[in-house]
A and B are shown apart, each in its own frame.
Chain A
Amino acid sequence: GDSVTQMEGPVTLSEEAFLTINCTYTATGYPSLFWYVQYPGEGLQLLLKATKADDKGSNKGFEATYRKETTSFHLEKGSVQVSDSAVYFCALSDEGDVGTSYGKLTFGQGTILTVHP
């Protein structure tokens, strides 16, 4: 079955440091890939997505590139802020239907990011 593996956390960085959170996946076919962010006490929010190989998703300074050859979708940000402290989830969907493709997701275990001033 499908699976998503994220780098072990937690990750602790100083403000303005470079961030990488690794994500690799196993899936049949050509899944869509997502990064979600969860702030304390809140539900998950979509951060960015990519639907085909070599696509780059980006939002709020975060980027991730869909690498089919390495089955990876690593999250990066050039300069993190204290407000980026949250839990980050990598996820995939191998559903072809547009309705379920964004909702029927397999999630990684999440990576806790803490950014200090």
Chain B
Amino acid sequence: DAGVIQSPRHEVTEMGQEVTLRCKPISGHDYLFWYRQTMMRGLELLIYFNNNVPIDDSGMPEDRFSAKMPNASFSTLKIQPSEPRDSAVYFCASSFAGGLFFGSGTQLSVL
């Protein structure tokens, strides 16, 4: 298996633009997590899904953030409109029966 695949690896955008981050979890994994990593706040859980259903989105910072999982093999995290303080590394991770596997992350820079 190729592991958790995230795209793009790097994203540079201007304030106010819409940003969409993508994630393909490991096949067969029934949990999917979105984390954000910043120097100031460290790693924070944004939202997680179980069997494609959002379970807990209490970590989503604002209404500008939204996440979907239309099927078991794909999830998106969207920021609209983006702001400079959204600059961070965004990780997707998937889990099944006790093993958590992270993707390589998307480095987002909002200018």
| Interface residues, chain A, with chain B CB atoms under 8 Å away | 41-46, 89, 98-105, 107-110
Contacting pair A101 B102 (CB below 8 A): no
Contacting pair B102 A102 (CB below 8 A): no
Q: Measured between alpha carbons, how far is A109 from B42 in the docked complex, in Å?
A: 5
Chain B interface residue bracket vs A: 20 to 34
Contacting pair B42 A104 (CB below 8 A): no
Contacting pair A43 B102 (CB below 8 A): yes
Contacts of A104 in B (CB 8 A): 33, 45, 48, 56
Contacting pair B98 A98 (CB below 8 A): yes
Contacting pair A98 B97 (CB below 8 A): yes
21 A-B Cβ contacts within 8 A?
A41-B104, A43-B4, A43-B105, A44-B43, A44-B91, A45-B102, A98-B97, A99-B31, A100-B50, A100-B55, A101-B98, A102-B98, A102-B99, A103-B95, A103-B100, A104-B45, A104-B48, A105-B45, A107-B42, A107-B43, A109-B42
Instruction: Name 12 extra pairs, CB < 8 A, besides A98-B97, A103-B31.
Output: A43-B105, A45-B102, A46-B100, A89-B43, A98-B98, A99-B30, A99-B97, A102-B99, A103-B33, A103-B93, A103-B95, A107-B42
Identify which of B42, B48, B103, B104 contacts A103 (C-beta below 8 A). B48
Contacting pair B42 A108 (CB below 8 A): yes
Total A-B pairs, Cβ < 8 A: 55
Contacting pair A102 B95 (CB below 8 A): yes
Contacts of B96 in A (CB 8 A): 99
Contacts of B95 in A (CB 8 A): 99, 102-103
Q: Which residue of B lies closest to A98 (CB)?
A: B98
Q: Measured between alpha carbons, how far is A43 from B42 in the docked complex, in Å?
A: 14
Q: Which residue of A lies closest to B45 (CB)?
A: A104
